[in-house]
């Protein structure tokens, strides 16, 4: 997988390898900025396209090919 930059993740599309409850396609809806501006970004909010459910995950989890695929497959 290509290296990811957390600052460029906003509005990127992701597909779950193993969908749960018809939630397969996701969109990064928000990059959560840390309180300290010099601290690195660690969290993003992803929104399920089907159900509009939102969850917070560590952005580095998106690099795991066994869980996530970039784009809508």
> What's the pLDDT score for residue 13?
97
DSSP annotation string for 12-48: -EEEEEEEETTEEEEEEEEEE--SSTTSPP-EEEEEE
> What's the pLDDT score for residue 1?
60
Over the chain (73 residues), the average pLDDT of each successive run of 10 is 86 96 95 94 96 96 95 90
Structural domains of the chain sorted by starting position, each given as residue range(s) with its CATH number in brackets: 6-70 (2.40.10)
* CA dihedral for 23, 24, 27, 32, sign (positive or negative): positive
13-20 β-sheet, strand order: 54-58, 43-48, 23-32, 13-20, 68-70
* pTM across the whole model: 0.90
């Amino acid at each position: 997988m290509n290296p990811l930059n957390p600052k460029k993740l906003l509005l990127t599309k992701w597909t779950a390898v193993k969908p749960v409850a018809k939630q397969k396609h996701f969109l990064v809806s928000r990059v959560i900025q840390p309180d300290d501006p010099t601290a690195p970004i660690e969290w993003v909010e992803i929104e399920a396209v089907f159900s509009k459910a939102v969850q917070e995950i560590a952005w580095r989890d998106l690099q795991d090919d066994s869980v996530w695929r970039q784009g809508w497959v």
